[in-house]
A and B are shown apart, each in its own frame.
Chain A
Amino acid sequence: MGLLYGLIAVGLALIFGLMDVTNFAHGEFLMIAMYLSFFLFAFFAIDPLLSAPLVAAALFVFGAVVYLLIVRFAMRAKANAGMVQIFTTFGLAIVMRGLAQYFFTPDYRSIPQSWLGGKTISVAGIFLPEPQLVGALVSIAAFAGLYFFIHRTDFGRALEATREDPGAVALVGIDKNRVFAFGWGLGAALVGLAGAIMAVFFYIYPDVGASFALIAYVTVALGGFGSVFGAFAGGIIVGLVEAVTALVLPPSLKSVGIYAVYLLVVFIRPRGLFGSM
């Protein structure tokens, strides 16, 4: 389960963590991805596992468009930049939830049969549910890919440089908006991947994103802003803490453990575990 939080958080780590743009609509991106994967299954009988790349591609476009149409202008705000970002993306989240209610109705939906759903696999005598296992593998791959992407490619360097000093970057001929639009697209594609896998074993409804979004923020902040590895470590810690809390406290209180650990960590290390900002 921890790696699943990690998977949701990895896209956020890119947008929120590396580009330093607040995105309060992250959970709604996840919701859209889950619906996409549901409809691809319902109308075309494409298994969520196969449609995952399609969903990720669609979310890439969506993320880039959201940046170009809305977020770009929010970042340009001269006053209260932080608040403008928070409330623009929060407003966007409300609009997306409203649209989902309008077009998809508030009903709970689920994908009844898929290749992975409900199956378990036995690894060394321990039974693991297959969807979660695939989620974990995809999550590790996504983190490794993002880490490589940020630290080893020109684009990754351009991205970090743009965050550091947009003015200087413009001087060497990098278009800030192209870099950030690509970053938003990539972040959205990653959450699209998470949504496609989660659609297999979670109910899908317009508010589904909200329940995961907060934990994703905590995951990224726990690991520290600006660190891909931190978000990955954050995801694992969150999963472990949740499992341990569930053993000690009633299940309805399992998130309390996660929140308490976050507070403990930032009191000791105000920049998270591996944060650089």
Chain B
Amino acid sequence: MDKNFAARRRRDLVIAAVLAGLAALAPLFIKDVYVQNILILTLMYAALSQSWNILSGYCGQISLGHALYFGIGAYTTELLFTKFGVLPWFGMLGGGVIAAVIAMGLGYPFFRLRGHYFVIATIVIAEIGLLLFQNWEWAGAAMGITIPIRGDSWLKFQFLRTKLPYFYFALALCCLAWFVTWWLEDSKWGFWWRAVKDNPEAAESLGVVVFNSKMGAAAVSAFLVAIGGAFYAQFLAYIDPESVMGFQFSLLMALPAVLGGIGTLWGPVLGAAILIPMTELTRSYIGGSGRGVDLIVYGALIVAISLALPRGLVSLFSRAKPKGATR
């Protein structure tokens, strides 16, 4: 058993390295800006979903309020940049730290709640954040912030003529989120989380240790999602509360992990690789009519996949594992 586990982990690492390498070469062949755009979004959602999965999948604390951390990342970066001239890289880290601190502050009372009460509390807290930002004049209120364009530069993480730097950043973030998950799987925390999910009562007797590991999961998860938010803000060069903190973002982060396989290492990546291109393609090919056909197709697919594969798409590969990582 132990040997298998170690072997599987080594294999996962190799597969990930190969995939990341292939992905890094992709822009050599794909010059179309529209396709590159889809790839960037896919990588970003894979990273977000992977981070969400740490708290909600592995740790079993289903959060539908992660848009809060995403928005905090985006707003910290852009407020620091536009109001104080702080470079986005520092803003990004700052946003991550703020999000992690808030996640731990919220975790303290929230982790006492169970089931629906917890889920609704996470939705509600993100909604409060959204409403506050919509009414905060200094931060642009509902109008949002437009990021001033100062020309292409790595220093300001801003590129007009090419999308490639965004692509590589998204890829790096995705790899980071994946690697953190991979590393946590075999950590003390990982074992505790599995214990909490399998048998909460028995795990409870371990007491405060479990509580700390949940706080850790919340902090790591929030930190990574906030980095994603900062990236998204730089990528779009424009943010407003609804577009970075809306409830649909919380769901969009959860969806790839759920469809791919919640609480699994490959689920979020697999889910995002299928879901995001599908979303973008249905939107641009059949959504143009403005009559909601894309919504019908999209919603029906979600229903179908959740019903047919409750364990997610990764369960398709559980029998033929070694080839399970095709994108």
Contacts and interface: CB of A to CB of B under 8 A. Distances in A.
Interface stretch (B155-163, B204-212, B305-313): B305-313
A84 B303 CA distance: 9
B258 A83 contact: yes
Nearest to B142: A252
Contacts of A267: 109, 112
Interface in B258-276: 258-259, 262
Contacts of B297: 98
A80 interface: yes
A270 to B, nearest CB: 5
B56 to A, nearest CB: 9
B124 A262 contact: yes
A77 B258 CA distance: 13
B21 interface: no
Given A84-B307, A88-B306, A262 B120 contact: yes
A74 B306 CA distance: 8
Nearest to A77: B310
Given A94-B299, A97-B292, A225 B306 contact: no
Interface string B59-90: 00010000000000000000000000000000
B291 A259 contact: no
B255 interface: yes
Contacts of A98: 292-299
B311 A259 contact: no
A128 interface: no
Interface string A171-200: 000000000000000000000000000000
A44 interface: no
Contacts of A73: 307
A214 interface: yes
Contacts of A92: 299, 303
A256 B310 contact: no
A247 B61 CA distance: 36
Contacts of B135: 250, 252-253
A266 B121 contact: yes
A82 B254 CA distance: 13
Given A74-B306, A78-B310, A83 B262 contact: yes
Contact of A260 (B123, B128, B251, B258): B128
A262 B262 CA distance: 28
A88 B131 contact: no
B117 A271 contact: yes
Contact of B302 (A91, A225, A256, A259): A91
A93 B299 CA distance: 7
Contacts of A266: 113, 117, 121
Given A83-B258, A87-B306, A95 B290 contact: no
Q: Which size class do B's interface residues fall under?
A: 35 or more
B300 interface: yes
B303 A256 contact: no
Contacts, number: 134
Nearest to A98: B295
B243 interface: no
Interface in A179-232: 206, 214, 217-218, 221, 225
B290 to A, nearest CB: 7
Interface string A234-277: 00000000000000001011011001101100110011100000
B316 interface: no
Interface string A112-155: 00000000000000000000000000000000000000000000
Contacts of B280: none
A85 to B, nearest CB: 9
Given A79-B310, A95-B296, A105-B291, A16 B116 contact: yes
A170 interface: no
Contacts of B262: 80, 83
A99 interface: yes
B302 A101 contact: no
B138 to A, nearest CB: 15
Given A74-B307, A92-B303, A253 B121 contact: no
Contact of B292 (A16, A82, A100): A100
Nearest to B302: A91
B131 A255 contact: yes
B303 A218 contact: no
B117 A253 contact: no
A267 B302 CA distance: 34
B319 interface: no
A259 B307 contact: no
B134 interface: yes
A250 B116 CA distance: 30
Contacts of B123: 214, 217
A181 to B, nearest CB: 17
A37 interface: no
- Enumerate the 4 nearest inter-chain pairs by beta-carbon distance, A residue then B residue, closest first: A98-B295, A101-B292, A94-B299, A91-B302
Given A97-B292, A262-B120, 6 more contacts: A80-B311, A82-B62, A92-B299, A99-B296, A221-B116, A259-B124
Interface of A: 16, 22, 70, 73-74, 77-84, 86-88, 90-102, 105-106, 206, 214, 217-218, 221, 225, 250, 252-253, 255-256, 259-260, 262-263, 266-267, 270-272
26 contacts: A73-B307, A77-B307, A86-B119, A90-B251, A91-B300, A91-B301, A92-B303, A94-B302, A97-B292, A98-B296, A106-B290, A214-B123, A214-B127, A218-B120, A225-B116, A256-B128, A256-B132, A259-B128, A263-B109, A263-B121, A263-B124, A267-B112, A270-B114, A270-B117, A271-B117, A272-B117
